[in-house]
Amino acid sequence: MQWETVIGLEIHVQLATKSKIFSGSSTTFGAEPNTQASAVDLAMPGMLPVANEQAFRYAIMFGLAIDAEINKRSVFERKNYFYPDLPKGYQTTQLAEPIVGAGHVDVQLSDGSSKRIRIHHAHLEEDAGKSLHEDFHGMSGIDLNRAGTPLIEIVTEPDMRNSEEAVACARKLHAIVTSLGICDGEMAQGSMRFDVNVSVRPKGEDKLGTRTETKNLNSFRFMERAIKLEVERQIELIEDGGSVTQETRLYDGDKHFSRAMRSKEEANDYRYFPCPDLLPVVFDDDYIARIKADLPELPDNRQARFIEQYGLSLYDASILSAEANMASFFEAVVKACDDAKLAANWILGELSARLNSEEQSVSASKISAVQLAALIKRIKDNTLSSAGAKKVFEALWNGENNDVDAIIEANGLKQVSDTGALEKLVDEVLAGLPDQIAQYQEADEKKRKKLMGGFMGPLMKASKGQGNPKLFTEILIRKLGE
């Protein structure tokens, strides 16, 4: 049977506010346990929440970026359940009246097509704390520093049909929130976490199959692998005569394995109701219009600008413009070396290869934009051959030295572009190759090109790799034609 996969995403995005959504505690990542958990965050008796305006501003920015309706009135509700990382015994969230209504994002797929993914809504809520499972005499330790960090939860429609579309959607949302500056996008720190709803159905069937929810995927690669694994699992289950159980699953990326979550086995009844400690949040059109006017450049607009301003291809522009960090790195390189094409080639080639192999984002690049620009400048002024440039790149990456010119000097990578010296070398080499010269001179244009390599090899050897290949070629053609 032919199966169709249906995927919807729920994405938790930690907002980059300085303080928490309902208290004045810091949201800095990595503090000592419970040092950023105030009486409000700990739900001490009598403590009350006061909402952070910046969290709303960020949520509205997101809503505007996905072309969504902004609800001028939104209401916080209590979602009731017991868990040690949830101090109040309820999560303050939005349900019936979220801040951001329906919107959409457009994603580029590898076959060159694009697809529109609908966003059902996005709402504001508070993050929970963390349970640490290291053994404390058979107990777990609870750290509530994260409790109360503002989140927007973005809920998509089940519009995706395979893992590529799901990952493209996730990447696009990552690009949007980082471009807006409302989230640091650090997925390894949990700044953006993906829950994936997956179901399968026979191709042509309208009714949705039973779905599972795989929680807290924190890299695009894990997301892709978890979806593929879950699709296989569900199809296998059904084809073996079983059926899919609606459940919440946990994916272990290191072991590439998933299982149902025990804490979610119980059917929940969250008993949502409007939070009586918080009043409805109301904005007027002016407020929203002011935010709209100040919206930073969005990935789609930036892509168009890169094509227009730098003459990049659609493909290059789409990759370089997607992430705010990548885009600003690229523009910093271009600004310093004034060559968009070379900048794009080096970033998408050598630099991306390195980052990918080390699983790092551009913000963790060991080569700065200024260094890369200096390298490119030395290519442009013929100081470096492409082989030499790669050696300099290598040295920069490994931290041998952080000055491009010093590396060139120390490793003798400077190309010889002195025409007189090169001509002398050519004469010397040609003197030892009379047969090849004769062969060359008898050959037609097409064959001659091939025969050039036979001269270049000895020439590069004679110049200890430092001769400018472009100049060598020019001299050779001239001399052989005489």
Partner 1 sequence: MHNKTVAELSKGLAQKEFSSEELTSHFLNRIETLDGRYNSFITVCKEQALADARAADKKIQSGTATAWTGIPFAHKDIFCTQGVTTTCGSKMLANFRPPYDATVALKFKEQGAVCLGKTNMDEFAMGSSNESSYFGKVVNPWGDNLVPGGSSGGSASAVAARLTPAATATDTGGSIRQPAALCGITGLKPTYGRVSRLGMIAFASSLDQGGPMARTAEDAAMMLNVMAGFDPKDSTSLDNPVPDYTATLNQDIKGLRIGLPKEFFTSDLDSKMAGAIRAAIAELEKRGAILKEISLPHSALSVPAYYVIAPAECSANLSRFDGVRYGHRCDDPKDLMDLYMRSRSEGFGEEVKRRILIGTYALSAGYYDAYYRKAQQVRRLIKNDFTEAFADVDVIASPTSPSPAFGFGSKGDDPVKMYLEDIFTISTNLAGLPGMSIPAGEIDGLPIGLQLIGNYFDEGRLLNVAHQFQTVTDWHTKAPKGIS
Partner 2 sequence: MSIQQSDVEKIAHLARLEVSAEQAQRLTKDLSNILDLVDQLQAAKTDGIAPMAHPMDAEQRLRADTVTETNQRDALQSVAPAVENGLYLVPKVIE
By CB under 8 A, name the binding residues for partner 2. Answer: 17-19, 23-26, 32-39, 42, 44, 50-56, 75, 82, 84-85, 131-133, 136, 138-144, 250, 261-263, 269, 271, 274, 276, 278-282
b/e sequence 62-80, b meaning 16+ C-beta within 10 Å = bbbbbebebbeebbbbbbb
Residues that bind partner 1 (CB under 8 A): 39, 42-51, 78, 80, 82, 84, 87-90, 142, 269, 271-273, 276-279
Nearer to partner 1, 87 or 388 (CB): 87
b/e sequence 323-334, b meaning 16+ C-beta within 10 Å = bbbbbebbbbbb
Q: Which does 91 bind (CB under 5 to 8 A by kind): partner 1, partner 2, none?
A: none
Contacts of 64 (CB under 8 A, 6+ apart): 70, 288, 291, 292, 295
Q: Which does 47 bind (CB under 5 to 8 A by kind): partner 2, partner 1, none?
A: partner 1
Q: Report the DSSP beta bridge partners of residue 80.
A: 90
* C-alpha distances out from residue 300 to 195, 322, 416, Å: 25, 8, 44
Nearer to partner 1, 88 or 215 (CB): 88
Q: How far is the CB of 42 from partner 1 (least distance, A)?
A: 5
Q: How far is the CB of 243 from partner 2 (least distance, A)?
A: 25
Q: How far is the CB of 139 from partner 2 (least distance, A)?
A: 4
Q: 3-class SS at 422?
A: helix
Q: How far is the CB of 395 from partner 2 (least distance, A)?
A: 43
Query: What do you get for the CA distance between the two ends of the chain, in Å?
Result: 72
Q: Which does 282 bind (CB under 5 to 8 A by kind): partner 2, partner 1, none?
A: partner 2
Q: How far is the CB of 65 from partner 2 (least distance, A)?
A: 20
- A 10 A CB-CB count for 159 gives 20
Q: How far is the CB of 152 from partner 2 (least distance, A)?
A: 15
Q: How far is the CB of 396 from partner 2 (least distance, A)?
A: 38
Nearer to partner 2, 10 or 423 (CB): 10
Nearer to partner 1, 273 or 315 (CB): 273
Q: How far is the CB of 323 from partner 2 (least distance, A)?
A: 25
> Cα(444)–Cα(352) distance, rounded to whole angstroms?
41
CB 74 within 8 A of CB 94: yes
Nearer to partner 1, 88 or 249 (CB): 88
DSSP 245: P
Q: 3-class SS at 400?
A: coil
Q: Which does 100 bind (CB under 5 to 8 A by kind): partner 2, partner 1, none?
A: none
Supply the DSSP string of 198-210, one letter for each residue: EEEEETT--SPPP
Alpha-carbon radius of gyration of the chain:
29
Q: How many CA atoms lie within 13 A of 219 on its CB side?
A: 12
Q: Which does 327 bind (CB under 5 to 8 A by kind): partner 2, partner 1, none?
A: none
Q: Which does 351 bind (CB under 5 to 8 A by kind): partner 1, partner 2, none?
A: none
Q: 3-class SS at 381?
A: coil
Q: Which does 54 bind (CB under 5 to 8 A by kind): partner 1, partner 2, none?
A: partner 2
Q: How far is the CB of 36 from partner 1 (least distance, A)?
A: 15
Nearer to partner 1, 43 or 180 (CB): 43
> Cα(437)–Cα(482) distance, rounded to whole angstroms?
11
Nearer to partner 1, 35 or 419 (CB): 35
Outline where 313-351 has alpha helix (H). Answer: 314-322, 324-337, 340-346
Nearer to partner 2, 84 or 181 (CB): 84
Q: Which does 453 bind (CB under 5 to 8 A by kind): partner 2, partner 1, none?
A: none
> Cα(151)–Cα(304) distance, rounded to whole angstroms?
30
> Cα(152)–Cα(173) distance, rounded to whole angstroms?
12
Nearer to partner 1, 32 or 442 (CB): 32
Q: Which does 138 bind (CB under 5 to 8 A by kind): partner 2, partner 1, none?
A: partner 2
